[in-house]
């Protein structure tokens, strides 16, 4: 993917996106071409509340694309800051393979931040500012349930897994809004699959280093986190879906496909509101 190509296409995509997401206009077009027979579902354009402040000042015609990019940027800020703080915490991450893996992941998250900032500016928007984080999940108190996250390696991996799995689901949850989004969509997909690679590796690290992690696998089984805390469950709810587009996957066409395999084979999206609810405790109020 050539950066110049992406930015070259941005204006074109924006115009198309605006056209498509402008419900009144598209409703009219659909109505006219279908002879007035078709009902039309409006594309929801509700903006989030948590990051609303960050979006003030962006051009109204660019809101749809910039909104989604800033949403992604804010999640990448979260991950990037998290891994940088972990790497800066003496004695947290064992040397050798574990440190190497976290350095690799941190490098990607930092690159995602830089990439998304550039893309937002190229789209005529303003990148959301770097938030103040509280990785204890205490909303700024520093005394939340994960207050030992940078001293307990086990807890650090638990939170890392939750961030990565949530990130994968978060990108998926906005995909429908940028369908036919050209180079934007491709770039989002290219970040999305990197997050999935991270998630798989963090899960393998938990299996290698942790105790009491159950049969945690590189993929998500049912809606199990493998983490002994109800606090992360919202990141896994809905992953136990076995029906895709009305088609039941368990034992499909006579093949012996278990419930576990059927749920593992498909990662499920999370809506923006679900993601915001999950990550809000990690932002200072």
Partner 1 sequence: MPKSLSETNQMEASETKISQLSRRKFLGYASAATGLMVVASACNKEQVMNTTSTQNTNVTADGTVDLGTGDIGILNYAYALEQLEAAFYTMVISKPYSNISPMELAMLTDVRDHEISHREFFKNALGGMAIPALDFDWSTITFTSRDSVLGTAKAFEDLGVSAYNGAGRLIKSADYLVLAGKIVSVEARHAAAIRDLIANGTFADDTTVDAMGLDMARKPLEVLAIAGAYIKTKIDPSHLPTY
Site for partner 1 in 15-34 (CB under 8 A): 30, 33-34
Is the CA virtual torsion 210, 263, 193, 136 positive or negative? negative
Site for partner 1 in 109-148 (CB under 8 A): 109-112, 114-115
Stretch in the footprint of partner 1 (CB under 8 A) among 82-90, 120-128, 191-199, 273-281 = 191-199
Rounded to a whole number of angstroms, the minimum distance from the CB of residue 23 to partner 1 is: 14
Q: Which pair of tokens denotes residue 268?
A: 């499920």
Alpha-carbon distance 265 to 200, whole Å?
Answer: 13
| Site for partner 1 contains 157 (CB under 8 A) | no
Q: How many CB atoms lie within 10 A of CB 30?
A: 13
> Residue 63 in contact with residue 51, Cβ under 8 Å?
no
Site for partner 1 in 203-222 (CB under 8 A): 204, 217-219
Site for partner 1 in 223-282 (CB under 8 A): 244-247, 249, 252-253, 255-258, 261-262, 264-269
H or E element: which one contains 243? Answer: strand 243-244
| Site for partner 1 contains 108 (CB under 8 A) | yes
Stretch in the footprint of partner 1 (CB under 8 A) among 47-55, 99-107, 143-151, 155-163 = 99-107
Site for partner 1 in 37-56 (CB under 8 A): 37-39, 41
**Cα 138 from chain centroid (whole Å):** 21
Identity of the residue, 147 or 207, whose beta carbon is nearer to partner 1 in the bound complex: 207
State the number of CA atoms in the 13 A half-sphere of 74 facing the CB. 27
Rounded to a whole number of angstroms, the minimum distance from the CB of residue 12 to partner 1 is: 12
Identity of the residue, 134 or 268, whose beta carbon is nearer to partner 1 in the bound complex: 268
Instruction: Out of 97, 132, 143, 277, name the contact with partner 1 by CB under 8 A.
Output: 97
Residues 6+ apart with CB under 8 A from 33: none
Residues 6+ apart with CB under 8 A from 246: none
């Amino acid at each position: 993917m050539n950066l110049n190509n992406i930015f070259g296409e941005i204006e074109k995509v924006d115009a198309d996106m605006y056209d498509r997401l402008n419900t009144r206009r598209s409703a009219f077009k659909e109505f006219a071409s279908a002879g007035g027979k078709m009902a039309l579902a409006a594309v929801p354009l509700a903006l989030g509340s948590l990051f609303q402040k960050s979006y003030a000042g962006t051009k109204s015609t660019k809101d749809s694309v910039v909104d989604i990019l800033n949403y992604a940027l804010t999640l990448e800020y979260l991950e990037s800051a998290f891994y940088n703080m972990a790497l800066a915490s003496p004695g947290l991450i064992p040397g050798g393979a574990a440190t190497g893996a976290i350095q690799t992941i941190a490098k990607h998250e930092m690159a995602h931040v830089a990439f998304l900032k550039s893309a937002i500016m190229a789209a005529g928007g303003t990148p959301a500012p770097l938030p103040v984080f509280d990785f204890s999940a205490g909303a700024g108190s520093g005394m939340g349930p994960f207050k030992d996250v940078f001293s307990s390696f086990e807890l650090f991996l638990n939170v890392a897994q939750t961030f990565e799995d949530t990130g994968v689901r978060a990108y998926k949850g906005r995909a429908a809004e940028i369908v036919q989004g050209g180079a934007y969509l491709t770039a989002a997909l290219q970040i999305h699959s990197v997050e999935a690679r991270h998630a798989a590796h963090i899960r393998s690290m938990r299996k290698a280093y942790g105790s009491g992690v159950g049969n945690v696998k590189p993929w998500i089984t049912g809606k199990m986190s493998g983490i002994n805390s109800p606090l992360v469950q919202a990141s896994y709810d809905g992953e136990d879906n076995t029906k895709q587009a009305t088609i039941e996957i368990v034992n499909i066409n006579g093949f012996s496909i278990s419930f576990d395999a059927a749920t593992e084979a498909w990662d499920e999206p999370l809506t923006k509101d679900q993601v915001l609810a999950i990550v809000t405790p990690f932002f200072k109020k």
